[in-house]
Amino acid sequence: MGHPIRYNRISFTRCGQSFMRIQFPSHHMGRYKLFFLGFVLLFPTFGAFSYAAAASTDTAKDGRLVTIHDRGEERVILTHAQTVKDALDDAKISVVPEDTVEPGLSQEMVANSYTVNIYRARPVIVVDGALREKIMTSAQTSRAIAKDAGLSLSDEDKAIVTASDDIVADGASVVLTIDRATPINLNLYGSPRIAYTQEGTVGAMLDKKGIKLGPSDTLSVDRDTPIASGMNVSVWRDGVQTVNVEEIIPYKVRQVQDFDHPVGYRQVQTPGVNGKRTVTYELNMLRGRELSRKEIQSVVWTQPTEQVEVVGAGLPPGSHQDWMAAAGIAASDFGYVAYIVDHENRSWDPCKVQGGAVNCNYSGSMGYGLVQATPGGKMVSAGADWRTNPVTQLKWASSYAVKRYGSWKGAYDYWVSHRNW
């Protein structure tokens, strides 16, 4: 156990006030000084802690102060509300969905005091060229009002808020007028873009955008040329230069034939997605004219995704006569057509390749289809389903017979006189 602390207490009076001094034995002075120094330092901390605890207890007991700014007035309430909405309910202040409340209505309140701002929705006339409409908005800035009106603005567009000249006629005291910048096609050293400007001439537009022409640069139009919507303005630098161009990589389409569905059926199984790449070209320019272009680098950012399609490969319903009728062939020509197909194809199989093989994916140079078109790929002019659709093949054959032989009878006569099978 430690020894008890011994000290002498000395009382005295100075300037009419009483004081007390504590005196320790000299051989314990260092230790006692440290003890009292620690006590003095810790005392304010204990006091502050006790005060904070008391304040917290008082807040929980008495509520929190909420200052509400609404319609130019300030109102202070003491409330136990847990959210901003509850505080407004306690203050008997209602809002509509078009109003803006900051902080939001669902904001939980945990601090001792809060400030709530209510921005009331009011009618605003929005004028954008020929468009003139009235909206309800609580937005406070011109661009925020335009956003509430569903309008997108470029950086160069101007949105100006003014007081209405006729409040009764407008039904609103505020008018937002949009002054649109003029869009132009600007090609800057091989990099095309859509640019917007409020300037009146090409030269003023370039100056505003900080585009300074060098001694070897060429401007496609005079600097004094008036700005017009959609005009083309190009800036080129003579000699060899490099440009970066963003390009799309088209996706490929792979078709899967389904013989359970008739020809003409098509369903996208996996949608295709284009890829993206950045291509660096080396250009040789002279007086703004491109003399040559060479690709020197390509960086693919996104690979294209192949599109997979299920296409019907089953024969269309009906008889051979129904197929010919669907192809627009007159009934009087059915006999000529049937004779030629019977001898060229024998089985009326649209996928038959010259020599007798059946291949619905054939794309070679031999005869193919009902009339053995050579090569079969030229029937694509009648339809993309030329490989499997007999009606498409007959449409192509009918066009070919009329153009080359004058009619199906002429084609029949030629076939009989030149074939021996």
How does pLDDT run across 258-271, given as a tens digit for each residue? 888 877 788 999 99
Position 69 pLDDT exceeds 50: yes
pLDDT at 39: 44
* % of the chain at pLDDT higher than 90: 67
Residue 41 has pLDDT above 60, yes or no: no
pLDDT at residue 92, rounded to an integer = 95
The token pair at 310 is 């299920």
Of the pLDDT bands very low, low, confident and very high (cuts 50, 70, 90), residue 47 is very low
Two tokens, residue 246:
């963003």
Model confidence at 236, pLDDT cuts 50, 70, 90, reads confident
pLDDT in tens, 181-197: 999 999 988 788 999 99
Most confident of 41-50, 300-309, 353-362: 300-309
The pLDDT of residue 32 is above 50: no
CA dist 115 and 68 (Å) reads 6
Sort strands 131-137 and 253-262 into parallel, antiparallel or unpaired: unpaired
> Residue 404 contacts by C-beta under 8 Å, 6 or more apart in sequence?
411
pLDDT for residue 231 is more than 50: yes
Average pLDDT of every residue of the chain: 86
The pLDDT tens digits of the residues spanning 370-391 come to 999 999 999 999 998 899 899 9
At residue 287, the pLDDT reads 73
Residue 26: half-sphere exposure toward Cβ, Cα within 13 Å? 0
Q: What is the pLDDT of residue 278?
A: 96
Q: Is the pLDDT of residue 3 over 80?
A: no
Nearest to 355 by CA among 364, 115, 111, 317: 364
At residue 21, the pLDDT reads 52
pLDDT reading at 129 higher than 90: yes
Per-residue pLDDT tens digits for 298-347: 999 999 999 999 988 778 888 999 999 999 999 999 999 999 999 999 89
The CB-based long-range contact list for 281-285 (8 Å cut-off, 24+ gap) reads: 281/190, 281/242, 281/243, 281/245, 282/240, 282/241, 282/242, 283/190, 283/240, 283/241, 283/242, 283/243, 284/239, 284/240, 285/218, 285/236, 285/237, 285/238, 285/239, 285/240, 285/241
pLDDT, position 48: 43
User: In the predicted model, what is the mean pLDDT of residues 86-113?
Assistant: 94
Q: Tell me the pLDDT tens digit for each residue of 237-257.
A: 888 888 889 999 999 999 888
Task: Give 200-212 pLDDT, tens digit per residue.
Answer: 999 999 999 999 9
Quote the percentage of the chain above a pLDDT of 70.
Answer: 85
Q: Provide the pLDDT for residue 27.
A: 52
Is residue 308 within 8 A of residue 269, CB to CB? The reply is: yes
Closest CA to 173 of 216, 211, 206, 134: 134
pLDDT (mean) for 392-417: 95
